[in-house]
Amino acid sequence: MQIPPQLQAQVDEAISHYPVSKRSASLPLLHLFQEHFGYISEEMIQWIAAKLELEAIKIEQIVTFYPMFRRQPAGKAHIRICRTLSCALAGAEGLKTTICEIAGIPPLRHANSAESPISVSPDGKFSIEEVECLASCGSGPVIMVNDDLYERVTAEEIPTILSKYR
């Protein structure tokens, strides 16, 4: 694992935001690593724990608790689709099927399944995950592709949206 100087600097900056307890930097550091490497590995957990002077279990514990952290890479473009009530009323379920078809992603397991809640296309370009309410309920159905939010998404728009990330 190579930690580039820029990431190192971001790590140190993040830790400086918590003058009372370094442990508070656990989540920010995990975010920085996932943004940089795309997922969280065992080695990263060890590294972060050592940096924050914690036992590794303290970091592992939160990786397994917070749904946004993943233990394996997602697709180059990671799609989050809201499955909660307002979006469901606006047609999220059908939209999910369309996205999977067009992006070539195998059908998704449910978020409550014991397996990974993320499904990745064989070419590694796209992945999808069902998430809970994204706080855009008045403009559903909504999806996020990487960091970008799309509102009132229709099946017809999916090819155009996805083509931006191919």
Partner 1 sequence: MPAPARRIPHPREKRMIFANIDREGYTPDIDCYLRHGGYAELKKAVTLKPADIVAEVKASGLRGRGGAGFPTGVKWGFIRPGETKPVYLICNADESEPGTFKDRYIIHQDPHQLIEGMIISCFALNVHLAYLYIRGEFPHGAKILENAIAEAKAKGFLGKNLLGTGFDLEIYVHRGAGAYICGEETGLIESLEGKRAYPRIKPPYFPAVLGLYMCPTIVNNVETLCHIKHIVKMGGADYAKLGKPNNTGTRIIGVSGDVQKPGYFEIEVGSITMGELINDFCGGLKPGRTLKAIIPGGSSAKVFRADERFKLKAKAADGSMVENEIGVLDIPLDFDTMAACGSMAGSGGVIVMDDTRDMVEVLNNLNHFYAHESCGQCTPCREGSLWMRKITDRILAGGGVESDPELLASVSNRIAGKTICAFGEACSWPTMSFVAKFKEEFAGKAKKQVPAFTPPEFTSEILTGAQH
Q: What residues make contact with ligand FES under the rule CB under 6 A?
A: 82, 84-87, 133-137, 140, 142
Nearest to 105 by CA among 97, 93, 113: 97
Question: How many Cα atoms sit within 13 Å of 9 on the Cβ side?
Answer: 3
Question: Exactly one of 104, 106, 138, 159 binds partner 1 (CB under 8 A); which one?
Answer: 138
Report DSSP letters for 128-148, one per residue.
EEEES--S-GGG-S-EEETTE
Q: Binding segment for partner 1 among 1-9, 55-63, 94-102, 120-128 (CB under 8 A)?
A: 55-63
Question: What single letter denotes the amino acid at residue 27?
Answer: L
Q: Does 21 bind partner 1 (CB under 8 A)?
A: yes
For residue 103, the SS3 value is helix
Q: Binding segment for partner 1 among 1-9, 25-33, 95-103, 118-126 (CB under 8 A)?
A: 25-33
Tokens of 105: 């992603």
Task: Kindly state the smallest distance separating residue 129's Cβ from ligand FES, in Å.
Answer: 14
Q: Looking up tokens 């606006």, which residue turns up?
A: 90
Binding residues for partner 1 (CB under 8 A): 17-21, 23-28, 30-31, 52, 58, 61-62, 65-69, 80, 83-86, 88-90, 110-112, 131-140, 144, 147-152
